[in-house]
Amino acid sequence: MTGPTVLGIESTCDETAAAVISGRDLVSNVVASSMDEHARYGGVIPEIASRAHAEAFIPVVSKALADAHMTIGDVDAIAVSAGPGLAGCLAVGVSGAKALAAAARKPIYGINHVIGHIAVTQLQFGDFPEDTLALIVSGGHTSLLHVTDVARHVDVVGTTLDDAAGECFDKVARLLGFPYPGGPHIDRHARLGDPHAVKVPQGLTQGRAGHDHPYDFSFSGVKTAVARWVEGRRAVGEDVPVDDVCASLAESVSTVLATKAIRGCLALGADTLIVGGGFSANSQLREKLVEVGSHNGVEVRIPRIALCTDNGAMVAMLGVNLVEAGIRPSAPDFPIDSAMPLTTISV
Ligand code: KG4
Ligand code: ZN
């Protein structure tokens, strides 16, 4: 299939990434990560990440074009993540993309990174069915969105009232002594443990709160319950069964996410659920979603891991959708927005 050729540029957090997509073909995809530089601080340090973007920007973008056997003159448009994300990081990618667009006289689209996580699934699974719900689970976001038209309109169906799922995993991981980011360590240990060993609450599922917030999430209570349990064991000098703690945490979080997302699909008549964001790499969540989805006749589309974590293809793909839909490019002075609302698709 042919279609517009778009260069996508990503710099919201600790990945500098660029990719070229022609229509639905991923022609190149380059990612440089500064994750290792943050590990010893236990979290992403914005100043270090911004500096890493400044260093990686030209090499990454040049490699994406070279791998595609193209020059900037060959692309129809440039797309860049304008938010949400770390302001200093966004500023590097957006400034670089603007300079490139001005020099090459190309249209530029400042896009919403989170909507990019939804858009990228088209590379693997094809275009969106008419009624699609999207579960976005990243370090910073846990949201359920109704995708009416990925280029023009999405609605927020539910969101976390406190911590994101990834954040909750990272905080428990820190308590257990795993390095940042802790999510993948919990995933690995959870595979070895008993998911019912520790009683962990399922936030916003019971009683009045569950009734009032059918599609919202809350993970801070889960985190606190696990922390209290671990501290209680340590206080009396008992060993902490790390695998069991991880398995119980993963069981609670994945069950709540999968149940609420599929319930949302049934209520809104959506027979497809798209899943995106770094936390969708979690194996317990992937299994649970497929299980609950198949029981309820909902097709669950979870991309391969390389497309779940931050990348340039997600930005390029949404750029292709915007060009195809005839959406006006962004103004040359478009701002970054570190708290960009999920309903803003492009600026
Ligand atoms: O989307 P993402 O790459 O960055 C943000 O935009 O936030 O998501 C990163 C989050 C981190 O919290 C990390 O711990 C989590 O995704 N994560 C995982 C796994 N892989 C990444 N959490 C649980 N299990 C995993 N396998
Ligand atoms: Zn992301």
Q: How many residues does the chain have?
A: 347
Q: Determine the distance separating the centroid of ligand 1 and the alpha carbon of 166, expressed in angstroms.
A: 5
With pLDDT > 90 as the criterion, what percentage of the chain qualifies?
90
How far is Cα 332 from Cα 106, in angstroms, rounded to an integer? 11
User: Measuring CA to CA, how many Å separate 73 from each of 10, 100, 102, 301, 323?
Assistant: 20, 10, 12, 34, 17
Q: How would you classify residue 78: left for phi > 0, otherwise alpha for psi between -120 and 50, otherwise beta?
A: beta
* C-alpha of residue 343 to centroid of ligand 2, in Å: 16
Up-side HSE of residue 37: CA atoms within 13 Å toward CB? Answer: 15
Residue 42 confidence (pLDDT) = 82
Contacts of 123 (CB under 8 A, 6+ apart): 21, 24, 26, 303, 307, 313, 317
The model's pLDDT over 36-92, given as tens digits with 9 standing for 90+, comes to 898 888 888 999 999 999 999 999 999 999 999 999 999 999 999 999 999 999 999
Please give all residues whose CB falls under 5 A of ion ligand 2, grouped by chain where several chains appear. Answer: 138, 310
Tell me the pLDDT tens digit for each residue of 272-316: 999 999 999 999 999 999 999 999 999 999 999 999 999 999 999
Secondary structure of 109-133 as H, E, C letters: EEEEHHHHHHHCHHHHHCCCCCCEE
Residue 1: pLDDT over 80: no
**Ligand 1 atom closest to the CA of 182, numbered from 1:** 14
pLDDT value of position 97: 98
Mean residue pLDDT of the chain comes to: 95
- Mutation test of ligand 1: which of 11, 114, 169, 189 has the most ligand atoms closer than 8 Å to its C-beta? 169
What is residue 219's predicted lDDT score, i.e. its pLDDT? 94
The Cα 189–Cα 274 span in angstroms is 26
Ligand 1 lined by 140 (C-beta under 6 Å):
yes
Q: Are 26 and 53 in contact (CB under 8 A)?
A: no
Q: What is the pLDDT of residue 193?
A: 98
Dist. CA 37–CA 51, nearest whole Å: 11
pTM equals: 0.94
CB of 284 closer than 6 angstroms to any ligand 1 atom? no
